[in-house]
Amino acid sequence: MKLTNKKILIVGGTSGFGKQVALDAKKLDAKVTVIGHDFDRTKKFAEETDIAGIALNAQNKSDLENFFDDKNFDHIVSTLGGAMGGGFLDSSMELIRKTIEDKFFANLQLVKIAAKHLNKSGSMILTSGSGGHPYDASGAIIGNQAINTLVAGLGVELAPDKRINAVSPTWTPTGLWRDMSSEAVQKQVSDFSSGVPLKRVATIEEVASAYLYLMQNDFVTGQVLRVDGGVDL
């Protein structure tokens, strides 16, 4: 299915995967809107890309409901959620709970609101994650597994008129790591690549292409598309 004139919303799209999806969708003549949490970053993104940018807290139920009140979309992409390091015993309850909240419950709330504003034959695409272990990424692993379960359930609940899938990247150098020094990022790239069958990390463009594929293929639903270099093999 072509994306020409399709209305696409990207939640968390001012940097990283979301930004690249927005740029790629625009090249395909889609009508793109991006939601960002940070006002200044969202404003800068909109000025630089000529893509509509809205700054709001996508984890706030009232803000989301007000945003969707008079809008419908053909495709909705969410990159909500973050990462964490640490196992169950050496991480605080607060950190584990927040990581799961930010990943699973924030996306569940978004889906419950957005599904009512998704056009017939439309789709939603969430972001899961591959790699890591329960002993060194406890809350993040639970959040990702919960996203996978959510997508499987909603694939049936939303059918036959609407679809939902997830993209599951592994560690990729994006804006999520903007607080790391360039030296620390390069070390992480080197260390991570050594444990991946393809011996490298993904590019942002490679991961973004998976979201576009899931928008365009009308016969894929309830699936998790892993773009991870075989990290879990």
pLDDT tens-digit map of 145-179: 999 999 999 999 999 999 999 999 998 877 666 66
**pLDDT at residue number 178:** 63
Q: In sequence order, what DSSP letters do the residues of 32-44 get, joined into one string?
A: EEEEES-HHHHHH
**pLDDT at residue number 7:** 98
What are the residues whose beta carbons fall under 8 Å from the beta carbon of 124, sequence distance 6 or more? 75, 76, 77, 78, 111, 114, 115, 118, 154, 158, 162, 163, 164, 165
pLDDT at 194 over 90: no
Mean pLDDT over 184-210 rounds to 88
* CB 132 within 8 Å of CB 92: no
Backbone angles phi, psi at 55, to 5 degrees: -95, 120
* CB 229 within 8 Å of CB 197: yes
Of the given ranges (44-48, 85-89, 137-141, 189-193), which has the lowest mean pLDDT? 189-193
Separation CA 111–CA 126 (nearest Å): 9
Separation CA 15–CA 36 (nearest Å): 9
**pLDDT at residue number 83:** 86
Report the predicted TM-score, pTM, of the whole model to 2 decimal places: 0.94
Q: Mean pLDDT of all residues in the chain?
A: 94
Report CA-CA distances (Å) from 128 to 39, 54, 162.
Answer: 25, 23, 20
pLDDT at 59 over 70: yes
Strands 118-127 and 73-78, sheet pairing: parallel
What are the residues whose beta carbons fall under 8 Å from the beta carbon of 149, sequence distance 6 or more? none
**pLDDT at residue number 176:** 62
pLDDT at 204 over 80: yes
* CB 72 within 8 Å of CB 118: yes
Separation CA 18–CA 77 (nearest Å): 8
**pLDDT at residue number 188:** 80
**pLDDT at residue number 73:** 98
**pLDDT at residue number 179:** 66
Separation CA 178–CA 2 (nearest Å): 34
pLDDT at 184 over 90: no
CATH for the stretch 7-178+205-225:
3.40.50.720
pLDDT at 40 over 70: yes
Distance between start and end Cα atoms, the chain: 32
Range with the largest mean pLDDT of 98-102, 170-174, 199-203: 98-102
- How much of the chain exceeds pLDDT 90, in percent? 85
**pLDDT at residue number 107:** 98
Q: Name the residue ranges covered by the structural domains of the chain.
A: 7-178+205-225
pLDDT at 132 over 70: yes
Peptide bond into 173 cis (omega under 30): no
